[in-house]
Amino acid sequence: MVVTLVIVCEVAFWVLLAAGLALRYLAGKRRAGAAVLLCEPLLELVLLVATAVDLRGGAEPDWTHGLAAVYIGFTVGYGHYLITWADGHFAHRFAGGEKPEKPPKYGMARAVHEWRMCARSLVAAGVAAALLQGAVWYIGEGGKTGSLVQWQAKMGLVAVVSLIIAVSYTIWPKQAPARPEPSAAERLAEFRRHAGR
């Protein structure tokens, strides 16, 4: 049941996002679109309550309950970023908005971008780990909580990998490729362009 609910929540996230953006930009109803987008957090609340009810009803904790916590953590950490990203692309495509900037590729600007992504990953992992710990306490010492603890370890790994990536871009910033030397034909064309002025 929990896996089905996670899938339903994921599909509903994108459906609500598309509906909110369509109302906002295609129908010109900005308030209605914003109201639909504000319903997104309700999905996580429904999933959280359903998971708690399932555990309270005597279900043995397994990987599906851990998946629910990870999903909620991911949407807390990355939800706003994804909505902003989709909003920018939708506005550009359907409402004449400016083309969204791509993430920087090189230098310290790329390192800053990676630190921002790292912060989102740390929030996602932290929320998931906290929810998993809450489930462990909720179940109590007599319950089988091994699968939940394994998910916590995986969230720790996500945090460590995210930090390593951000640190690596800081210590060894990716450099822009060197501009290739112009060919003889390109130099001649450049000379003629300047000579024709």
* CA–CA dist 39, 44 (Å, integer): 10
Query: Is residue 8 within 8 Å of residue 50, measured between CB atoms?
Result: no
Which tokens hold the place of 19? 């509906």
Of all helices (H) and strands (E), which one includes residue 19? helix 2-21
**Binning pLDDT at 50, 70 and 90, where does residue 194 land?**
confident
Domain that holds residue 69: 2-195
Q: Write the pLDDT tens digit of every residue in 18-33.
A: 999 999 999 989 899 9
pTM: 0.82
pLDDT value, residue 72: 94
**Number of domains the chain is built from:** 1
Centroid of chain to Cα 136: 26
Of residues 108, 116, 102, the one with CA closest to residue 174: 108
Q: For residue 141, is pLDDT > 80?
A: no
| 67-116 per-position pLDDT tens digit | 999 999 999 999 999 999 999 999 999 888 899 999 999 999 999 999 99
